Amino acid sequence: MTSPRVVVVGTGPAGVRAAQALVEAGVRPIVIDEGRRDGGQIYRRQPEGFTRTHATLYGSEAAKAQALHSDFDALRTQIDYRPETLAWNVTAGQLHTVHATSGETAALNFDALIVCAGATDRLMPVPGWNQAGCYSLGAAQIALKAQACAIGSRVVFMGSGPLLYLVAAQYLKAGATVEALLDTSPAMPTLNALRGLLHRPRLLLRGLALMASLRLGGVKLMHAVAPLRIDGTPDGGVSGVVVRDARGAERAFACDAVGLGWHLRAETQLADLARCEFAFEPLSRQWLPRIDDCGRSSTPGVYFAGDGARILGADGAEAAGRLAALAALHDVDHARGRSLFAAEQTALTRTLATMNGFREGLARAFRWPHEQAAALPNDAVVCRCEAVTAGELRRSVFELGSQEVNRAKAFSRVGMGRCQGRYCAHAAAEIVAAAASVPVELVGRLRGQAPVKPLLMSAQEHE
C-alpha cells in the first residue's frame, strides 16, 4: 500500500515521541506546532540567542528535555514540520490549519490524526483575579523559562498541584522574591492519595525535596487555605492576597503579582470537533475524550495522547505518544507499524498504568477545590474575558432555568469570551451545578467550537 497520511498535532513530549515512532516505521508525518519552536509547554525552548543551559532551565528534568529536543532536531528532515500553525478545525478525514503570521491555510487529508494538544492551567476564580498582575502558574513558568523574567518583584503563588511547588522553587532559584506559597490542599495527603503517589516513589521524593527547598529558602508555606480575595486597584493591578488559614484566621500577603493554578485541564476542542465521545473523570471532575489503553478515540482514525487526553505528566505523555502512533499504524495495516506495535504495546500500556496510578494520587493529594466555586460571592468575576460575575451566572440558573452549562453560557456569556471558556468553564460548571443542586456531571460541559482559537476574518481556505 502507499504510505498512510498521518498528521500529528503538537510537539510536546507526546507529539515528539509520536512523530519519532512514525519515522521509525518509515512514515513521513505532517507535524503541526502552534509554537515557534518544538518542546510544547513543559519542555518549552528558549528563543535563539538565549544562553542558559538545560540544567538551569529544566532542573532535574534536564536530561529528558535535552533528549526530546535533540531527538526532534534529528527528525526535522524526515517530517513535514509546520511551526506557528494552528489546527483550528477537524472535519471528516480533514484537519484545517492556519499559519499565525502569513494567514496561509491548509486542509490536510489524513488516514490517522494523532492529537497531542496538551493542557493549560486549571483555574479557580478568586475575587479580584481579573486584575493586572494575576497570571496562571504556567504563565509564571513561561515568563521565566522562555524570557528569563519574573512576573513581578514580589510574587505569591496560590492554588494546588505539583506545578505550584515547581514554579515557586524555580523562581526562588532564579533569584525572584517569592512572598508566599498558598496551597488549598492539606499538608498531609490521605492514605489513598499516598498509595497513588507511591507508584512513582522517586518523583514523590523529588516533590518533597522541592517543598523542603522552599522552606529552606524562607518562603512562607501554607496549606489548607481558603482564598478570600486578591486586593488591588483597577489602574494599578494586584497589591496583595488574602486567605483564610487552616485555623480560620485571615492572613494577608502583600505582593505585586500572583501566580494561580489548580493543576491542569486538557485542551479537548479538537476531540469535540472530531465528534469524539467524552467521559466524566470523577476524581479530577473533568470531562475527557474517551480513549482506549492505546489512545484510540470513538472516532475511527482519531487518536489522543498526552495531557490533552489524560493528565499523566510529561513522562506519561512520551509513552502515550509513541503508543498512539503505533496503534494508528497498526489500525491502517502498516506492516512495520504493526510489528512495532506488537512488540511494544504491553510494555507501553504497563508504563501508562503506573503513570495513571500516580495521577490518581496527585488528584487526591491536590484536589480541585470545587466547593470554592460554589461559595464564590455573587460579585466575583468568573469570566475574566468579559467580566461576567458569579451572580450573573447564578441568575441564569435561578431565574432563567439553565441547568446545563451551554444554556447558561447562552444566557450569561460565561464561556463565550476570547479564551472560549478555557479559564472559566470548569468553575462555571461547578457554580451552575451547585446553584441547581445537581451533581456537576449532570450539567454537561461546554462544547468546543471551531475555530478553536480566534482567527482573522480575512483567513480564507482554498480548495
Alpha helices in 1-46 (DSSP H): 13-24
Q: Which is nearer to other proteins, 249 or 456 (CB)?
A: 456
d(CA 100, CA 182): 37
Work out how close the CB of 124 gets to other proteins at its nearest, in angstroms, rounded to a whole number.
14
Rule CB under 8 A: is residue 218 a binding residue for other proteins?
A: no
Rule CB under 8 A: is residue 402 a binding residue for other proteins?
A: no
d(CA 164, CA 151): 14
Rule CB under 8 A: is residue 256 a binding residue for other proteins?
A: yes
Rule CB under 8 A: is residue 377 a binding residue for other proteins?
A: no
Rule CB under 8 A: is residue 230 a binding residue for other proteins?
A: no
d(CA 28, CA 323): 17
Rule CB under 8 A: is residue 178 a binding residue for other proteins?
A: no
User: Which of these segments, 45-53, 306-314, 334-342, 352-360, binds other proteins (CB under 8 A)?
Assistant: 45-53
The three-state secondary structure class of 151 is: coil
Size of residue set near other proteins by CB under 8 A: 58
Rule CB under 8 A: is residue 449 a binding residue for other proteins?
A: no
From 423, 425, 433, 434, residue interacting with other proteins (rule: CB under 8 A): 423
Work out how close the CB of 109 gets to other proteins at its nearest, in angstroms, rounded to a whole number.
26
From 163, 385, 414, 440, residue interacting with other proteins (rule: CB under 8 A): 385
Matching residue, cell 498582575: 133
Rule CB under 8 A: is residue 264 a binding residue for other proteins?
A: no
Please, what sign has the CA dihedral across residues 71, 74, 80, 81? positive
What is the DSSP code (8-state) at residue 236? Answer: T
CB 450 within 8 A of CB 86: no
CB atoms near residue 266 (< 10 Å): 24
CB 297 within 8 A of CB 308: no
Pattern 116-145, binding to other proteins, x per CB under 8 A? ----xx--------xxxxxxx-xx--xxx-
Q: Which is nearer to other proteins, 51 or 77 (CB)?
A: 51
Q: Which is nearer to other proteins, 48 or 399 (CB)?
A: 48
Q: Which is nearer to other proteins, 133 or 313 (CB)?
A: 133
Cell of 79: 517530517
Q: Cα-atom radius of gyration of the chain, to the nearest Å?
A: 22
CB 238 within 8 A of CB 232: yes
Torsion angle of C-alpha atoms 128, 226, 159, 413, degrees rounded to 10: -40
Pattern 138-177, binding to other proteins, x per CB under 8 A? xx--xxx-xxxxxxxxx-------------------xxx-
- Sorted by sequence, the CB contacts under 8 Å of residue 66 that are 6+ apart come out as 54, 58
Pattern 231-250, binding to other proteins, x per CB under 8 A? --xxxxx-------------
d(CA 274, CA 270): 6
Residues in contact with other proteins by the rule CB under 8 A: 34-36, 41, 46-52, 100, 120-121, 130-136, 138-139, 142-144, 146-154, 174-176, 233-237, 256-257, 267, 381, 384-387, 418-419, 422-423, 453-454, 456
